[in-house]
Every structure is written in structure tokens, then in C-alpha cells.
């Protein structure tokens, strides 16, 4: 069975990413074509990248890196749930991504973002990063507006069309994850 990690891309106090990720998971759990798991980067306590050897070598000195590596390696694809901070993704998500290399290769990734412009600019930066890591980023993405999908800019209440957007994105992530399987073998 294809395994997809839904990665909570913020560690900020008061973050919305956890609530958004749980909503994505609830939609995903209705599907029978894959297994889904929420991965909270906050649980891994990754300091600012502290490995002395580049991740492309796969030789991790620190236990936190090895634990993070094993978790990410266990998936066939990913959904990054990201806020948009200052026209980009969170530093915590970028740091977590940078810890690894081969674990990301030849897998698919989709994006769920939120912000004043739906998190569009955060996703554009993540697409560039994905290309360098040989992650196949899918075309469909879920853009959540602080104006339309959050009541008073804080209480998450996604619009009715958003569930269809999540399923469309998940369908593409699963299709690409399957298509890339032979490259991972």
C-alpha cells in the first residue's frame, strides 16, 4: 500500500498548520487507495541544521537526523502543509527538508498552504526546493485564504470547494508516487 506523509510545516506557537494537517488527514482517511500519516516536525526537535557532512552522503552523525531520516524514508510521497511567512515557507520546514537528500528522491509531493494570498509564494519556493531534491511536485495544490477559509483570520473554516481541491491534489500525489515506484526500487 502506498504511504503518504502529511508533514506539518510549522513549529510556531499558535500555528494553524496542525489544524489544517488534521483536516487534510480526515479527508485522506476516507480514501482506500493509500495509507496516510501525519508527521509533525515539532516532534523531531531538529536544531538548525547541524550535520557536519552534507546530507547527500547519507552519513548522519546525530540521532535526531537518523530518526528523521527513517521516518521520511518510510513514505512513498508527501503533502507539505505550509504557512506563508514573509513570502516564503517557514524556516522550520526548510530546515527539516535540508536535513535529508536521498530520502526525498523519486517521490511525489503535493502542497496545502495558507496565508493572505493562499500561501502561493510559499509553495513557489517549495517547488524550487523539490526540484533540487528530485521530488516530483504535482500541479494541483490547495490554497487556503486567511480571508475566506479562516473566520476572523484565526478559526479554520475551509470553504466547501476545498475538500475537492484536497482530493484532486491527493489523487495526483498518489498517481505520481505509483509512477515513480520503479525508480525507488
Residues 121-173: pLDDT tens digits? Answer: 999 999 999 999 999 999 999 999 999 999 998 999 999 899 999 999 999 99
DSSP SS3 for 142: strand
Judge contact between 133 and 103, C-beta under 8 A. no
Residue whose grid cell is 507539505 = 80
H/E element, 92: helix 91-98
- Which of 176, 178, 175, 170 minimizes the C-alpha distance to 81? 170
Among residues 43, 124, 45, which one has the least CA distance to residue 82?
Answer: 124
Distance CA 178, CA 111 (A): 18
Q: Which three cell numbers stand for residue 159?
A: 470553504
Dump pLDDT digits (tens) for 72-128: 999 999 999 999 999 999 999 999 999 999 999 999 999 999 999 999 999 999 999
Consecutive H or E run containing 29: none
pLDDT (mean) for 25-35: 98
* Domain 3-184, second-level architecture: 3-Layer(aba) Sandwich (3.40)
State the alpha helices, DSSP H only, in the chain. 17-28, 63-73, 91-98, 120-132, 162-179, 181-184
Find cell 466547501 and name the residue. 160
pLDDT of residue 46: 98
**Residue 70, helix vs strand vs coil:** helix
Amino acid at each position: 500500500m502506498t504511504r503518504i506523509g502529511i508533514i506539518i510545516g510549522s513549529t510556531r506557537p499558535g500555528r494553524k498548520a496542525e489544524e489544517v494537517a488534521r483536516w487534510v488527514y480526515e479527508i485522506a482517511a476516507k480514501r482506500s487507495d493509500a495509507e496516510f500519516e501525519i508527521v509533525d516536525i515539532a516532534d523531531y526537535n531538529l536544531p538548525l541544521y547541524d550535520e557536519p557532512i552534507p546530507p547527500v552522503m547519507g552519513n548522519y552523525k546525530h540521532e535526531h537526523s537518523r530518526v528523521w531520516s527513517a521516518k521520511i524514508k518510510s513514505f512513498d510521497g508527501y503533502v507539505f502543509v505550509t504557512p506563508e511567512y514573509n513570502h516564503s515557507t517557514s524556516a522550520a520546514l526548510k530546515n527539516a527538508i535540508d536535513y535529508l537528500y536521498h530520502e526525498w528522491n523519486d517521490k511525489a509531493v503535493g502542497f496545502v498552504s495558507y496565508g493572505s494570498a493562499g500561501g502561493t509564494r510559499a509553495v513557489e519556493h517549495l517547488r524550487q526546493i523539490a526540484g533540487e531534491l528530485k521530488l516530483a511536485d504535482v500541479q494541483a495544490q490547495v490554497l487556503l485564504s486567511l480571508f475566506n477559509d479562516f473566520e476572523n483570520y484565526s478559526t479554520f473554516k475551509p470553504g466547501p470547494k476545498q475538500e475537492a481541491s484536497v482530493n484532486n491534489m491527493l489523487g495526483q500525489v498518489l498517481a505520481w508516487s505509483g509512477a515513480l515506484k520503479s525508480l525507488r526500487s
